[in-house]
Amino acid sequence: MTGVWDEVVGQADTVAELATAAEDPSAMTHAWLFTGPPGSGRSVAARAFAAALQCRAGVRGCGECPSCHTAMTGTHTDIREVVPEGLSIGVNEMRALVQLAAHQPAVGRYQIVIITDADRLTEGASNALLKALEEPSDQTVFLLCAPSEHPDDVAATIRSRCRRVALRSPAAEAVATVLTVRDGVDPEMAQWAASVCGGHIGRARHLARDAEARSRRERVLAVPLGLRGLGDAFGTAAELDRAAMAEADDLSGERDAVEREELGIAMGAGGVGKGVAAAARRAKAAEKELEKRQKVRNTRNRRDVLDLALIDLAGFYRDVLVAGAGAQVALTSPDSADDVHRAAREWAPESALRRLEAVLACREALDRNVKPLIALEAMLVALHRG
Ligand SMILES: [Zn+2]
């Protein structure tokens, strides 16, 4: 398969199924649920499928026609993608979307809605979506993406109305090939990044390209053997928290500034005469609203950054257990093999397991909106104690 399917890495079976559905209207369903571990490419697969559905060429999803092109760059008139700015997708946002989705497509064959984080739907939003799924209009297609089919991620009522597509983590070999061939990464670097990314293509690309990301990862992986005392535990918690904040600021800083500037232009600066006071009030309110949205986005970025660090840490303790048991399985961080084997010799398996559990408990705590520093401190004290 070529064209838009090139983007869907290491998922041959899924691609075959989606391509068939795009070719043959009788094999088509109006609601799909893409699941798979983070980085397996759920939203990429959904986007490629949307492009194929809109494609005007003989073989759907050619990747060349204007339709495919606008679909893949996110500018197709009849494809809407919901990316929650905050931690959840609210009911008003969903109602507006459902209403738009019921319209006839303007230029495409379908009116397509992609919901990239269906696990972030509020209950109200879920219900609004459910109504649309229950009474589908002919030309509307909903593509939902979520980590799993678990009821915590997607309500059972919604899941039962969707055709399911399960993506796998792509093999390291497939990831390395994409990095080399498509992103022009040096082969050796691509191999390394693919071997430590846990099947997460975006993460592999980021590590391959960004020296700062590589050194952050190194610092995180040095934590397990670097905890000499309780003071280290608290110091490390504070450092991880600070680093996550700094990176989140980096991620959102530029975008925030652009948005503020655009808002300023939209509202018009200065002016005299009638209506100026009212306009100023409106501008002030819009500014407040923007600030609120940016703050929510920043919080989310910070959580995502911390989560990556926790996944690396969890991988380390998992590797220690694997090495301790003498299992012939690939390590999640093969470049830390020396540290992993040393830890496996020094720690009892129960203690490595308790540490792994402490990392997972910290992820859950962050998920419940526990203050990051508090969650990190609790984790690091547990990691130190063993
Ligand atoms: Zn096309």
Residue 256: its pLDDT value, please? 80
Task: Give pTM, 2 decimals.
Answer: 0.73
Residue 39: its pLDDT value, please? 79
Please spell the DSSP secondary structure of 254-308, one letter per residue: HHHHHHHHHHHHHH-----STTHHHHHHHHHHHHHHHHHHHHHHHHHHHHHHHHH
Whole-number Å distance, alpha carbon 383 to ligand 1 midpoint, is 52
Tell me the per-residue pLDDT of 55-95, one tens digit each, with 9 for 90 and over.
Answer: 988 778 999 999 999 999 889 999 999 876 666 788 888 99
Strands 111-115 and 79-82: parallel
Whole-number Å distance, alpha carbon 58 to ligand 1 midpoint, is 8
Whole-number Å distance, alpha carbon 305 to ligand 1 midpoint, is 36
Among 370, 340, 333, which residue's Cα sits nearest to residue 355? 340
pLDDT band at 366 (very low <50, low <70, confident <90, very high): very high
Tell me the per-residue pLDDT of 258-316, one tens digit each, with 9 for 90 and over.
Answer: 778 777 777 765 555 566 777 778 888 888 888 887 887 788 788 888 988 999 999 99
Mean pLDDT of 205-227: 93
Give SS3 for 140. Answer: strand
Higher-confidence residue of 145 and 274: namely 145
Residue 317: its pLDDT value, please? 97
Q: Does pLDDT of 100 surpass 90?
A: no
Whole-number Å distance, alpha carbon 59 to ligand 1 midpoint, is 8
Residue 274: its pLDDT value, please? 60
**How far is it, in rounded angstroms, from Cα 1 to Cα 146?**
25
Cα dihedral 232, 236, 237, 238 sign = positive
**How far is it, in rounded angstroms, from Cα 64 to Cα 60?**
10
Please state, rounded to an integer, the average pLDDT across all residues of the chain: 89
Query: Which pair of structure tokens corresponds to residue 201?
Result: 């293509």
Which residues have beta carbons under 5 A from ligand 1 (an ion)?
55, 57, 62, 65, 68
Whole-number Å distance, alpha carbon 57 to ligand 1 midpoint, is 5
Whole-number Å distance, alpha carbon 56 to ligand 1 midpoint, is 5
CB distance 85 to 296 below 8 Å: yes
Who contacts 330 (Cβ-Cβ below 8 Å, separation ≥6)? Answer: 172, 195
Residue 157: its pLDDT value, please? 94
Burial (0-12, 13-18, 19+ Cβ within 10 Å), 163: middle
Residue 87: its pLDDT value, please? 67
Whole-number Å distance, alpha carbon 65 to ligand 1 midpoint, is 4
